[in-house]
Amino acid sequence: MASESSVDYDRTKELKEFDDTKAGVKGLLDAGILNIPKIFVRPAEELAADELNTGQKNIEVPIIELTDIGDENWHKEIVNEVRVASEEWGFFQVINHGIPLSVLDEMIEGIRLFNEQDLELKKEMYSRDRAKKVKFSTNFDLFTSKTADWRDTLTLSFLDSDPDPSDMPEIFR
């Protein structure tokens, strides 16, 4: 595709073909691709503009301290810190949350095992349906973003209620 002119390039078609595989980014790697598909490549002018706009070189990820979350005054402050970090950064690090390191390690191992499992099992979970409580997908904004992100996601939604454990991938439970 690198040799295609921008006039001949059909981004929507490439996005649909990628999405229809239900294999995600890992599926591309497992298939042995040699070149990154154009849907994942940011235009040079966009990268140059980002480079010009990055005045801050020593970036520090916001850290949210949860030790005193039970204290009503601190609780409000912590909620505000989460709001600010989410709005301004999109992510943050939580410390002193009380979750044992062994549980976090098991969670990471579960995700690794999920991603390494047979593709056909992952395809069964692939969905763009926002109402599904448990789903595997890639790029929630695949068809609306300028450039697709090089990522796959296993979503477990606890928004209205806990997901049914039987809906979760067996390897992940």
The pLDDT tens digits for 82-92 are 999 999 988 89
Q: Which element (helix H / strand E) includes 4?
A: none
| Residue among 89, 101, 34 at smallest CA distance from 56 | 89
Residues 170 and 86 in one domain: no
Confidence label for 6 from pLDDT (cuts 50, 70 and 90): low
Total tally of structural domains belonging to the chain: 2
Residue 44 predicted with pLDDT over 80: yes
Residue range 124-142: mean pLDDT, rounded? 92
Residues 2 and 43 in one domain: yes
**Residue 23 near residue 30 (C-beta atoms within 8 A):** yes
Residues 28 and 88 in one domain: no
Residue 1 predicted with pLDDT over 50: no
Q: What is the pTM of this model?
A: 0.72
Last residue of a domain, one of 98, 114, 146: 98
Residues 51 and 13 in one domain: yes
Q: 134 phi and psi, to 5 degrees?
A: -130, 125
Residues 72 and 140 in one domain: no
* Helix/strand/coil for 155: strand
Query: Percent of the chain, pLDDT > 90?
Result: 62
- Sign of the alpha-carbon dihedral angle for 22, 170, 114, 90: positive
If you count them, how many residues does the chain have?
Answer: 173
Residues 92 and 105 in one domain: no
Q: Which domain holds residue 82?
A: 60-98
Residues 71 and 40 in one domain: no
Contacts of 130 (CB under 8 A, 6+ apart): none
Residues 90 and 104 in one domain: no
Last residue of a domain, one of 98, 128, 148: 98
